[in-house]
Each structure stands twice: as structure tokens, then as C-alpha cells.
Amino acid sequence: MKSLLFLIALLCIASVVESHVDTFRGGRGKDAWKQRTIYQVLTDRYAKHDGSKGSCNNLSKYCGGTYKGLIKELDYIQGMGFDAIWVSPILKNLDGGYHGYWATDLYSLNENFGTEQDFKDLIEELHKRDMWIMVDVVANHVGPVGMDFSGINPFNQPEHYHERCIISDDDFANNQERVENCRLADLPDLAQENDFVRTTLLSWIKDLVQKYNIDGLRIDTIPEVPKWFWTQFQEAAGVYAVGEVFDMRLGYVADYQNYVDAVLNYPLRNAINDVWRYNSKNFRDLANSMNANRNAFKDVDALGVFVDNHDNERFLHGNSNHAGLEAATIFGIFAEGIPMVYYGTEQYYGGGPDPANREQLWTNFDTSSNLYQMLKAAIQTRKDHKTWDNKYVERYVDDNFLAFSRGEVLIAVTNQGGSVGNYVTYLPFSKGDTICNIFNSSDCLTVEDGVNITLDNYQTKVYVKSSNNAQESIKE
């Protein structure tokens, strides 16, 4: 009897521990998000609902994408296996704010993207598909109104803002005080130390998340606001948040993870570009950079991993290396962190600096594109093998070849044209196993003392044990 009670007590403790993990931030915490893959859309550029397919004639203006359009084209995103989308900021904006970063009213939505009901419908449709929504939010600034705050709701008084000074390039490098207290691109800089501003922003984000059942946040312009505020904002949000620290200094970026759940991994994105876009560094440098990340960040697996986004010229800008983009993108699906793929990457878009990198997608919903199909296979493998639960293990590295595993998934990449082959002996497989490349079912190898992996022209291969193999072992 005693031991039965003991057993029951143990079971209770186990279930308490488990439910704590499951319910952290209402089940929308960083550990739950580590299992997701995110597709980033600019709401204005993804899809129109009236079916018109014309190109956008001025990328600096509204082009017509809507929530209804997004709902109509969710199959395209889900078809690649993504189970979360990141959308543009949703609030009402100053005229011309197609990107969403020029808010004028905390309490109404941007009518260019549709009605409030349309936004609710989008979230309902996503949740029906077990897809999550990440909303981009801004707490640093409002739309560019100079010194006339009368049109901003509710921050309509001068005391809600800092003095009008503009952050210079030199400030970004050397003067954190000015980064926090001056204006980014002359956008009125909110004074979070003002009680009304602070408490209003905190209750706003809490209510917004609850009202729309938002699953996660991408927070804009993190370094432009003092760190103490982000601790409070993260707490009020109550869901996973990933902040934008648009900076290449590892220590500087990493420290912000002590205040928000995660940040975008700009240092890794830089290292990826150095290897595949500029060919200025090799895989030993990439490995070193990942090691430095592991040491610097509080939780490297919670960071946002990306190649392209709306703030940087695309990988393919001024560069026609499609296979290089494929390698970088698939590497990002299996690297430590939460993958984020910017819309259009799968269609080999190559736009230059903002706004050229914000092309409309509705002219190119092509599910037969090679990278679309590669993402589909890679994301499925990520899920099937729960690679986020398995350590990154380096299996072979030299200047132009990298092989690593996450559990029983072996990823091999190169940054060279021509043919690169290596005999890899340190494997997550056993002698006699047959392993096949997820991108080509006839590309299989039998493991002996190792396997000879050959990559042609920036080719990427991802090997898993073949299913025939698995069936054989079940028969035994």
C-alpha cells in the first residue's frame, strides 16, 4: 500500500513537471516554438484576394496584399511544411506605411490589410491547420509625424516622447545612450520611463495577445529601448518573443537574450553569408562562429535563424548562385535555432536593399520550384526526426565541406563548385545501414567503415536511414 501511494505520488510529480513545460507561457513558450518552422510574409506583398496578378508598380507604396489573400494561399505555405507564419505589424499606420512600422493608433488595425474580422479569420484558419501566428510589434516608436503628435492614439503629448535627435551611424557603434533616447530615422521615440507610456504599452501587448489569440511575437528595434523595459514587456506578452537586434557584435546581441526569450541570430546569418554568398570564409570559420554563439547566448536553440529578410538585400542580389542559396537555406533548417524563411526565397527572389527586397509573391506561386520542394523534404525530416531535440554534432569539417548530424539525420554541405568528396567515418549510423538522400530517393549509400559523400556544385544532401532498412529491422 505504501509503495502504491509512493508510485502515485511519483506519477503526480511527473505530470506536474510535464504540465509545467507544456503550459509555460500558455503552451506558447520558447520550447514549444523550437519545434516550429516559420515562414515570414510581408502582408502587403504576399497575396491579393481578388485574384489579380499584376506586378506591383511601386514597391514604396501599398501593393494590395491582404489577410483574405493570405487565407486563400495558406496551402502554398503549409505545402512546404511550415507550421507558423510571421506577419507584418498589424496596427493602423500613417499613409504609405505598407510595411506596418509607422503606427498611429495602438487600438485599431491597418485597414489596408482587411477588416478586423479578416484578421480574426486568418488566425482561426491558421489554428485549424495547427499553424501558429507570430505578429511583428513595435514599442520603440510611432509613425513619422515630426513634432505633431496630435494624430497619435494614445501617445499624443510631447512628454510621451524623447527629445528630437537622430541616431547616427557613429551612435550605433559607440553611444548606447543616444541609441535608446534619440530617433531611429526620425521616428518619434517613445519614452518608456514615462509611467503612462510604460503601463500603456504593457497592458496593450497583454490585451493584444489575448484578444486575437496570438501565438508569438517578433519585436522590432530592440536595442533602441532600454533593457529593463523588455523584461516587463516579455512578461506582459506571455508568449514567445524574438527580438530584432540588427547588429553583428556577438556579445552585444547575445546580452539581449537575458531580457527577451530570443533574438534574431544576425551573427549566424553573417557567418552563413560569408561562407555561401561571398565565399570569403570557410566551414572551419562557420564552425568557430557556431561555437562562439553557443558560448555567448543563453539559449541558442531559441534564436531565429534566417538567411533573407525584409531589412537586407536578398542572398541572390547581384549573385546568381541558386545552389548556394539552397545550401544556406537548408543549413538553416537544421542549424540550432528556429528556422525563419522569408517569402520569395523559395522562388529565388533576388531583390536589393529595401524596398527592392519586398517583391510581390502573387506572380510566382510555383510549387514546382526546386527550393520549394527541398524545403518540403527538409522540414518534413526536421519534424519526423525531431531534430530540435537532438544535439548538433559535427561529423566532418574542412575548408569546403561540412557534415553534421541532428540525431539520425546527416547533413552535408559545400561552398564549392565542381565535385567535392569525402570519406566520413564518424557517423550517427551503423555498419550495414542503408542511408538515402531525402532530395533524391535513388541516391543511397551503404555504411561500411564510413560513407563516401560526394557533392557536386554547391549540392546539399541530407541522409536518413532508408525505410526499407527500418522494415528489415522490425522483421528481425
- The footprint of ligand NAG (CB under 6 A) covers 58, 60-61, 96, 421, 423, 440, 442-443, 452, 454
Q: Nearest 5°: phi and psi at 389? A: -90, -5
Query: Could you say which DSSP state residue 227 is in?
Result: H
Catalytic residue selected from 180, 220, 224, 308: 220
Q: How far is the CB of 439 from ligand NAG (least distance, A)?
A: 8
Instruction: Report how many helices (DSSP H) and strands (DSSP E) the chain contains, helices first.
Output: 16, 18
CA angle 120, 121, 123 (to 5 degrees): 65
Q: How far is the CB of 437 from ligand NAG (least distance, A)?
A: 7
CA angle 309, 311, 314 (to 5 degrees): 55
- For ligand NAG, which is the closer residue by CB, 434 or 454? 454
Q: Nearest 5°: phi and psi at 10? A: -60, -45
379 within 8 A of 37, measured Cβ to Cβ:
yes
Is 164 marked as a binding-site residue?
Answer: no
- For ligand NAG, which is the closer residue by CB, 61 or 164? 61
Rounded distance, CA 48 to CA 70, Å?
7
- For ligand NAG, which is the closer residue by CB, 193 or 443? 443
Q: How far is the CB of 96 from ligand NAG (least distance, A)?
A: 6
Is 218 marked as a binding-site residue?
Answer: yes
Rounded distance, CA 181 to CA 325, Å?
38
Catalytic residue selected from 224, 244, 336, 359: 244
**Encoded amino acid at 283, one letter:** F
Q: Nearest 5°: phi and psi at 376? A: -60, -45
Residue 456 has, within 13 A of its CA and on its CB side, a CA count of: 1
Q: How far is the CB of 403 from ligand NAG (least distance, A)?
A: 13
Q: How far is the CB of 448 from ligand NAG (least distance, A)?
A: 9
444 bridge partner residues: 436
Which helix (H) or strand (E) segment holds residue 254: the answer is helix 250-255
Rounded distance, CA 235 to CA 238, Å?
5
Rounded distance, CA 315 to CA 352, Å?
9
- For ligand NAG, which is the closer residue by CB, 305 or 374? 374
- For cell 509613425, name the residue: 143
Rounded distance, CA 376 to CA 343, Å?
14
Q: How far is the CB of 322 from ligand NAG (least distance, A)?
A: 14
- For ligand NAG, which is the closer residue by CB, 415 or 437? 437
Rounded distance, CA 164 to CA 168, Å?
13
Annotation says 244 is catalytic: yes
63 within 8 A of 408, measured Cβ to Cβ:
no
Q: How far is the CB of 94 from ligand NAG (least distance, A)?
A: 12
- For ligand NAG, which is the closer residue by CB, 98 or 161? 98
- For ligand NAG, which is the closer residue by CB, 95 or 207? 95
446 within 8 A of 433, measured Cβ to Cβ:
yes
Is 141 marked as a binding-site residue?
Answer: yes
Annotated binding site: 102, 141, 218, 311, 358
Annotated binding site for substrate: 102, 141, 218, 311, 358
Name the residues annotated as catalytic: 220, 244
